[in-house]
Amino acid sequence: MTLRHTEPHAGTALVLFALAVGGFAIGTTEFATMSLLPFFAPDLGIDAPTAGHVISAYALGVVVGAPLLAVLGARLSRRTLLIALMALFAVGNGLSAVAPDYHWMLVFRFIAGLPHGAYFGIASLVAASLVPANRRTWAVGRMFFGLTIATIVGVPLANWLGQLFGWRYSFALVALLGLSTMLALTLYAPRDKADPTASPLRELSALRNTQVWLTLAIGAIGFGGLFAVYTYLADILGAVTGVPHSTVPLVLAVFGVGMTLGTLIVPIFADRALMATAGGMLVFSAVMLALFPFAAGNVWTISLCVLLIGSGGALGTVLQTRLMDVAADAQGLAAALNHSAFNFANALGPFLGGLALAAGYGWTSPGWVGCGLALGGLAIWAVSAGLEKRNPTAAAGQAQA
C-alpha cells in the first residue's frame, strides 16, 4: 500500500523529526515512571511493590491499545490518526499529573499507555513511506531515535523535575511533550488521504499470517533478555559492582547511549539483509547477556557490557520493518502489535529474572536468564527463516508502507 499525498509536504527530515518528538515523549514517560516510583508511592499512600502496579497498568494499556486503536483507526488517514493518538497520550499523562489517589493513578496510566503501540506502529509506516524500499529500516530507525534519546535526556530530566518540584511536574512535562508532538505533526506530517479500501476486517487479516505471529514472537521472547538485566541493573550496581548511588544514573545513561548507537548503525545492515541482521542481533545479544555476570564486578566492564546490551535494542527497528514485509494489506495492526510484543517482553524478562533472584541464584543471574531468552528468540527466528526459505512467496508480501 502506497501512501498518497494530496499536496507536497515538508522535507523528510522534518517529518521524521515530528515523528521522533512523539517517540521522545513516549520514551520519557515509559522509562521515567520507574525512576519516579520512590516519589509518588509515599505521596499516594502505597508501598513500593504496590506502586509497581502503576507501571504494569501502563504496559497493559500498551498491550490492549496497540491492536484495538490500530483496528478502530483503520479508516482514518495516518496523519489524523497520529494526531488523535498523541491527543489521547497527552490527556492520559495530564490526568496522571493530578491523580488524587492510587486507584485513579492506575486508570490514568492505563489510558496513557493505550496510544503507545499504535503510535509507533503507524509512525513507522509513515516513516517508511518517505523513502525508497531499501531505506525503510533507516527511516524507521530515525523515527525511533526520539525514544532512544529519551533514555539519555528525557528520563534524567523527568527525574530531576520530580526531585526538585514533585513527581506531578514530571507527568505534566510529558503531557506538554504530547501537545508539542501534535503541533509538529500538524505542521509537518504528510497530508495523506484515508485508504477507501481499508477496514477493521482487513487489518485483522494479519492475524491469519503465520509469519506475522513468528515475527511478533521473536520480539516477545528474544527482547525479554534486555529487560531482564535492565530492570535489576540499579540493584546489581549497588550489590555486586559496589558503586555509589550517584554513579547509577550514569550507567543507566550508558544503556541509553547503546540503544542510540544501535538505532543509528544496525539499520545500515538491515536494509541490505533484513532477516540475517535480525538473527545476528539475537546471537550478539545472547553473547553479551552471557558475559554480563562476569562483567558485573567492575564498573568499567559492566558499563561496556551495558552499552553493548543496550545496542541490542535496535532489534525492535529491524522487526518493525520485517512486519511491513509479511503483513500484506494489514500493515497498521501488524506494526502496532510489534509494541504489544515488546511490552510482553518487558513483563516476561523481569518476571523470569525475579524468579532466578528469588531462587537464590544471585544478583547476576538475570544475565543468564536474558541469554536464555535471546536464544529462545533465535530459535523462533530460525523457524521463521526456514519457512520463508521453503516458501518465500507465502512468507512475504513485500508490501510497501
Which residues have C-beta within 8 Å of that of residue 49, sequence separation ≥ 6? none
Cell of 114: 493505550
**For position 400, what pLDDT does the model report?**
40
- Identify the CATH number of the domain defined by range 1-198: 1.20.1250.20
User: Which CATH superfamily is 200-401 part of?
Assistant: MFS general substrate transporter like domains (1.20.1250.20)
Measured CA to CA in angstroms, residue 222 lies from 17, 43, 69, 349 at distances of 29, 37, 25, 9
* Gap between the Cα atoms of 386 and 383, Å rounded: 5
Residue 30 confidence (pLDDT): 82
Q: Are 318 and 312 in contact (CB under 8 A)?
A: no
Residue linked to cell 496513557: 112
pLDDT at site 351: 84
Distance CA 174, CA 165 (A): 15
CB 328 within 8 A of CB 399: yes
What would the grid cell of residue 401 be?
Answer: 508502507
pLDDT value, residue 246: 77
Residue spans of the chain under pLDDT 50? 1-10, 396-401
The residue count for the chain: 401
pLDDT of the residue at 5: 40
Query: What pLDDT does 7 receive?
Result: 40
Fold match flag (1-198 vs 200-401):
yes
Angle at 12 between CA 6 and CA 13, to 5 degrees: 145
Instruction: Quote the pLDDT of residue 206.
Output: 60
Contacts of 116 (CB under 8 A, 6+ apart): 26, 30, 58, 61, 62, 65, 66, 89, 339, 343
C-alpha angle 63-308-380 in degrees, rounded to nearest 5: 50
CB distance 282 to 377 below 8 Å: yes
Whether the Cβ atoms of residue 351 and residue 163 lie closer than 8 Å to each other: no
Write down the domain spans for the chain: 1-198, 200-401
Burial 67-81 (b: 16+ CB within 10 A, else e): bbbbbebbebbbbbb
Q: How many CB atoms lie within 10 A of CB 86?
A: 27
User: CB within 8 A of 105, min separation 6: which ones?
Assistant: 40, 44, 54, 57, 96, 99
